[in-house]
Structure 1
Amino acid sequence: MASARGSWTGGSLRARSFLKPHHVSTAVFHPAWIPPSLDPSIERLKRFRVIAGAVASIGVYTVLEGGFDVTELLENALTASAVLLFLTPLTVGVMLFVWRRTGTVSQLRTPLLNSLKLLLLFIGCVVALVLLVQTTNGSGNPLVILGVGLTMMWMLVFVANGAVRVSGNFFGTAAVHRCLPALLATVTSWLMAIPDLVTGDLHGLSLTMGIVFILGAPVTVTAIALAETGRLKRRYGIRLGTHPSSLPPVPGPVPPAPPTGLPHVPPQGNPYGHPRPPAPGGNPYAPGPGGNPYAPGAGGNPYVPGPGGHPYAPPQPPYHPPRYPHGPHGG
């Protein structure tokens, strides 16, 4: 599956990667075309939102009521998938209607199609996992139970990790608009809670505990989503009601600071420099107060004899002036 930013997985999967289903799930459900977070603070808010959304999806009241039930969890996952299949396109469609004043839908065709693919892929994996569980529970053949059971366990880790990933990026809708994941998380959490509030189904809990566990997750998700969108607006000028093409350009990732020095150079400087300190106010390669060790004169030219004479040169030039002042043949 291709995307606007290269391959779906970004080339991160190898054959041995399939031995670790959570690695495969991360590559599949957080594709390479999803833009990275703008700063660590927004990423932390997304993590908090994922935790609160997990509370809304799984239902803490189910655990308190009768213990953790995998079958009921999968039924809730199917229900949530049906809600997402209806709610996500509807919410995005409403925002496209709002954005029509400042942009067109054709400008967002590629990220919209990629997000739809990711949504359908996740729902298909959830349905496949439910079918595997039903096949394992309904079969009496040990070979079928063993083969399908191993596949089911792989798929369980794969889908569970995928649910965490899509809860953070909300099917890659950040590639459409940075504020869409927070909006979709808020709408989904409230839609999951409203039926229980309307019907008064507290799942066997008291009135106080039922209201806390039914309203706690959507209220928390909403508060975190508001903080997330508010930070995007203040720091980067990203507004939910503005078409993505009209938003200001976001800054790219900050490159790491370069090292203070080369790893192979000693901290004292040049390893081939003069071992003695340089002359005060002079050239670091000029002789210091003690003179050049290769020149006999203090601060003199090494090829000119000093006061005591050079040991390898006579005290005067080797060639005497000519005897004939006007040349060898006279003047």
Structure 2
Amino acid sequence: MWVLVLFPCTWFVIPPLLLCYSFARSARLRAHRLFPVNAHRRFDDPQVWRVQKARAWTAAAMSVLLLLVYGKPEDFGEAQQQYMLRLAATPPLLLVSAPVVIALLFRVASPQTRAEMRARVRAAGRTALWYVGAVTTVPLCLVGITLADRGSTAAQDPWYSTVLTPALALPMVWLLFFLGFATGPAIRSGFNAAEVHAALPALLTGVLVWEFAALSLAAGGTPPGPPLVQLLALLGGPASVTAVAWWEIGRLRERYGIRLRG
């Protein structure tokens, strides 16, 4: 408060910053309560993380090498567009794919495992609904603000917009902070899929990588290079991710007794 007294010119800066900080702190606490940062690590296996990291760096290096050897100038821009497309498509694809994979896993699981999974599925579903609700409410708030502004202009009543705009803008700002803090942990954990079954993150990864391959093929076509290189680039990445995912599931079975069936 002493800053406001000593520097009156900051009155229009400090209060909004303090409000944004309180919103960010509140949204971060709520996001990490719903989607813990380490929720995807139900069993901490350093060997799995090392293999996953090595595969990711190898894939990134091969992608850059492919662009440098066979790519055209426009291919670099297209690669950036596909990367942004994947970032935008990951949450909806995960929300659609997770129920299907959970249903298939539920079908092959033993009766005892099904009973344990039911309560966990409900808990994971509630957290996913929080995320879906936030994503849905943000554009609704934007529409409400736009309509309030137009209504104020048409009615020549500035108080109409003055009251409604903050009432919609403040929740929208909080929700944007919430989505910013929740999206990363939610994607890594498959919307808390690991709490339902320890093998679900690996299964979801194996499914999503093929969906991304189909999406990239539909949006940008085949990678640059000769036909054989195109085929290897198109299938090699998803195949390697799938192989690592099944290897991880095998380690869960051998080290922790986690099984898909029975």
Pairwise TM-score range, normalised by the shorter structure: 0.5 to 0.7
Give runs of aligned pairs for residues 1-331 of structure 1, distance below 5 A.
18-20=23-25, 21-30=27-36, 37-39=42-44, 41=46, 44=49, 64-65=77-78, 77=88, 80-100=90-110, 103=112, 105-133=114-142, 140=149, 143=162, 148-149=168-169, 151-197=171-217, 199=218, 201-202=219-220, 207-208=224-225, 218-219=238-239, 221-239=241-259, 241-243=260-262
Deviation at 1:167, TM superposition (A): 1.9
- Deviation sequence 1:216-260 (CA, Å, 0-9, x none): 864564354334323323332323x234xxxxxxxxxxxxxxxxx
Deviation at 1:17, TM superposition (A): 7.1
2: distance between equivalents of 1:190 and 1:125?
27
Structure with larger Rg: 1
Deviation at 1:111, TM superposition (A): 0.9
Deviation at 1:170, TM superposition (A): 1.4
Aligned residue identity for 1:108: M
CA contact (8 A) 1:22 1:158 kept: yes
Which range is displaced more, 18-27 or 39-48?
Answer: 39-48
CA contact (8 A) 1:196 1:214 kept: no
Identity, % of aligned positions: 24
Deviation at 1:29, TM superposition (A): 2.1
Unmatched runs of 5 consecutive residues or more in structure 1? 1-15, 56-60, 244-331
- Higher RCO (C-alpha under 8 Å, 6+ residues apart): 2
1: distance between equivalents of 2:182 and 2:149?
30
2: distance between equivalents of 1:99 and 1:137?
50
What is the CA RMSD across the aligned residues, in angstroms? Answer: 4.7
The SS at the match of 2:220 is coil
The SS at the match of 2:103 is helix
Unmatched runs of 5 consecutive residues or more in structure 2? 1-20, 61-73, 151-160
Kindly indicate which of the two structures has a greater share of residues assigned to helix: 2
1: distance between equivalents of 2:231 and 2:144?
37
1: distance between equivalents of 2:230 and 2:141?
33
What's the counterpart of residue 7 of structure 1?
Answer: none
The normalised TM-score by structure 2 is 0.57
Corresponding residue pairs, total? 210
Deviation at 1:179, TM superposition (A): 0.8
1: distance between equivalents of 2:51 and 2:179?
19
- Deviation sequence 1:167-226 (CA, Å, 0-9, x none): 2221222222211111112212322332443x4x307x9635998997686456435433
CA contact (8 A) 2:42 2:194 kept: no
